[in-house]
Amino acid sequence: MDNLFFSLAEEIRKCTACPLWKSRTLAVPGEGIFNKQISDKQIKLFFIGEAPGEEENRQGLPFIGRSGKFLDEMLKIAGVERKDVFITGAVKCHPPKNRNPTAKELKICKELWLDNQINIIQPKLIVILGKVALKSLLDGEISNKEKINESHGTIITKNKQKYFITYHPAAGMRFPKIKKSMIEDFKKLKKFVN
Ligand code: SF4
């Protein structure tokens, strides 16, 4: 599984399937437990955010800088460490001027890479961080009433895969009300993990 995962990451780094490759310095395939030795006993949590920001683009790593620190704080609340989970984005390349990825870019990157990563890792739970990841993975599954403000802190099952929904760390950093909600969400996540 390790080799399969590494070769997928190599392919992602060379990908030119959607226009976002033009604005990237380094693609960000993802990082975490599955870059190391895999133990079947470890809990398989798969976190998915939005798109690489400027610092992530420079270093080729997900969730570094301030939003990464914020995510680490949240992980602590859930009782898990970053080294024990896998973290990636809905798209792997930095969009120009930090704009949101388009629906088409999300679809291409998901079908080419994200679905494969999920298939290889077979996570027990996918944690959706924010609206973009929600759109990428659960668009059409959740009704109009279940936008992120209503659906955060809940688990949705689709094709036997469980998804836990919460906000994006960048939103939690900016808005105290969202941070409060995220803290509650990650406490719920801890119960699920245990
Ligand atoms: S965002 Fe995804 S699909 Fe688009 S170029 Fe990057 S890796 Fe390829």
* pLDDT tens digits for range 34-70: 555 445 545 589 999 999 999 999 999 999 989 999 9
Domains of the chain as residue ranges with CATH:
2-193 (3.40.470.10)
What pLDDT score does 146 carry?
A: 60
Q: Which residues pair with 87 in a beta bridge?
A: 31, 47
SS3 13: helix
Q: 6 pLDDT band (50/70/90 cuts)?
A: confident
Bridge partners (DSSP) of residue 158 are 161
- Nearest CA owner, ligand 1 atom 2: 109
Q: Is 108 near ligand 1, meaning CB less than 6 Å away?
A: yes
Average pLDDT, stretch 176-182?
97
Question: Ligand 1 center to residue 21 CA distance, Å?
Answer: 6
User: pLDDT band for position 145 (50/70/90)?
Assistant: very low
Closest CA to 15 of 86, 89, 87, 92: 92
C-beta of 156 in contact with ligand 1 (< 6 A):
no
Evaluate: CB of 51 within 6 angstroms of ligand 1.
no
| Vertex 26: Cα angle to 21 and 32 (nearest 5) | 115
Please give the distance, rounded to the nearest whole angstrom, from the Cα atom of residue 89 to the centre of ligand 1: 11
Confidence of residue 144 (pLDDT cuts 50, 70, 90): very low
- Ligand 1 atom at shortest distance from the alpha carbon of 24: 6
Average pLDDT of span 170-190 = 97
In eight-state DSSP terms, residue 110 is I
Burial of 87 (0-12, 13-18, 19+ CB in 10 A): buried
By most ligand atoms within 8 Å of CB, the mutation choice from 112, 114, 136 for ligand 1 is: 112
pLDDT top residue among 192 and 186: 186
- Ligand 1 binding pocket includes 18 (Cβ within 6 Å): yes
From first CA to last CA, the distance across the chain in angstroms is 26
106 lines ligand 1 (CB under 6 A): no
Tokens of 48: 């998915």
Phi (first) and psi of residue 126, to 5 degrees: -100, 125
CB–CB of 50/110 below 8 Å? no
User: What predicted TM-score, i.e. pTM, was given to this entire model?
Assistant: 0.92
